[in-house]
Amino acid sequence: MTTFALVGAGPGLGLATARRFGKAGHSVALLARNKERLDSLVTALPEDGIQVRGYTADVLEPASLTTALQAASDELGPIEILQYSPVPRADFMKPLLDTDPSDLDAPLAFSVKGPITCVNAVLPGMRALGGGTLLFVNGGSAVRPNPRVAGTSIAFAGESAYAAMLHDALAPENIHATQLIIPGAISPDAEHSSPEVLAERLYALHTERDGFRHYAEPLPE
Ligand SMILES: NC(=O)c1ccc[n+]([C@@H]2O[C@H](COP(=O)([O-])OP(=O)(O)OC[C@H]3O[C@@H](n4cnc5c(N)ncnc54)[C@H](OP(=O)(O)O)[C@@H]3O)[C@@H](O)[C@H]2O)c1
């Protein structure tokens, strides 16, 4: 069976999507910075009979991503699905008029260079498989820039442009790039944005392969 690789594995959306893709029979590779937190996610999943491993990597350090994705592919099987959904740091979200050029270094590394590094690492394997899915997850500022969170708004716009271009460029190779926008907060009791509901949406984006951009719920007026 092929592997679902999750870049930015945490206890919220990350764990729920890992469980959903694992339930469908995929091996699961979890990538995040903190080994102890990864270990606790890994121990949460085999209860469901899922083959899962954790790999430490920091999306701000491209070499760590490439090494982790290669190890995951070698140990678990070829990566058919890549999800990019690390949670951005609070200091990326400065107000517009307080934002200096250097404040954009980390947000752009996080939301633009990180995705490009990951996609370049997994594309050869997806081509060998004859197809694959690239899932990008963002908040509402990706489509409606918000001057209270300038760094993420600017960087998410770059990630969105990259992902949209991939959608068109890779379609002839049966590699489906798609984006899920989550306008509200993820919370266990949210009707459309609980981790479990979002995980089901992401799984459906993989299987249904219908268009580029999707919304968990409408953007607020
Ligand atoms: N939470 C919300 O309300 C909300 C709202 C709208 C959109 N979203 C989107 O939902 C996704 C996150 O879902 P979630 O909030 O439920 O989080 P989650 O899946 O529970 O956890 C995300 C994980 O990202 C990892 N991460 C952060 N920085 C990283 C880095 N530099 N390198 C590698 N991993 C890193 C963290 O693990 P380590 O600390 O171990 O690295 C964290 O546990 C993101 O795409 C976010 O844009 C969230």
Tens of pLDDT along 60-114?
999 999 999 999 999 999 999 999 999 999 999 999 999 999 999 999 999 999 9
Question: Is 7:86 a contact under the CB 8 Å cutoff?
Answer: yes
Neighbours of 35 (CB within 10 A): 11
Distance 46 CA to ligand 1 centre (A): 22
Distance 86 CA to ligand 1 centre (A): 4
Query: Which pLDDT score, from 0 to 100, does residue 47 have?
Result: 77
Query: Which pLDDT score, from 0 to 100, does residue 221 have?
Result: 84
Residue with the smallest CA separation from ligand 1 atom 12 is: 87
Query: Which pLDDT score, from 0 to 100, does residue 172 have?
Result: 98
Our answer on whether the CB atom of 37 is closer than 6 Å to any ligand 1 atom is yes
Q: Where are the alpha helices (DSSP H) in the chain?
A: 13-23, 35-44, 62-76, 105-108, 114-129, 150-170, 195-208
Q: Which domains does the chain have, with CATH numbers?
A: 3-215 (3.40.50.720)
Distance 88 CA to ligand 1 centre (A): 6
Angstrom distance (rounded) from CA 128 to CA 138? 28
User: Relative to the CA of 195, which ligand 1 atom is closest?
Assistant: 16
Distance 14 CA to ligand 1 centre (A): 7
Q: Which of 4, 7, 13 to mutate to test the pocket of ligand 1 (most atoms within 8 A of CB)?
A: 13
Our answer on whether the CB atom of 34 is closer than 6 Å to any ligand 1 atom is yes
pLDDT-flagged residues of the chain (< 50): none
Question: Is 69:56 a contact under the CB 8 Å cutoff?
Answer: no
Question: Is 220:183 a contact under the CB 8 Å cutoff?
Answer: yes
Our answer on whether the CB atom of 60 is closer than 6 Å to any ligand 1 atom is yes
Question: Is 60:110 a contact under the CB 8 Å cutoff?
Answer: yes
Our answer on whether the CB atom of 139 is closer than 6 Å to any ligand 1 atom is yes
Query: Which pLDDT score, from 0 to 100, does residue 1 have?
Result: 86
User: Relative to the CA of 59, which ligand 1 atom is closest?
Assistant: 32
Six-digit token pair at 217? 């719920």
Q: Which of 21, 87, 112, 159 to mutate to test the pocket of ligand 1 (most atoms within 8 A of CB)?
A: 87
Question: Is 202:17 a contact under the CB 8 Å cutoff?
Answer: yes
Distance 191 CA to ligand 1 centre (A): 20
User: Relative to the CA of 85, which ligand 1 atom is closest?
Assistant: 45
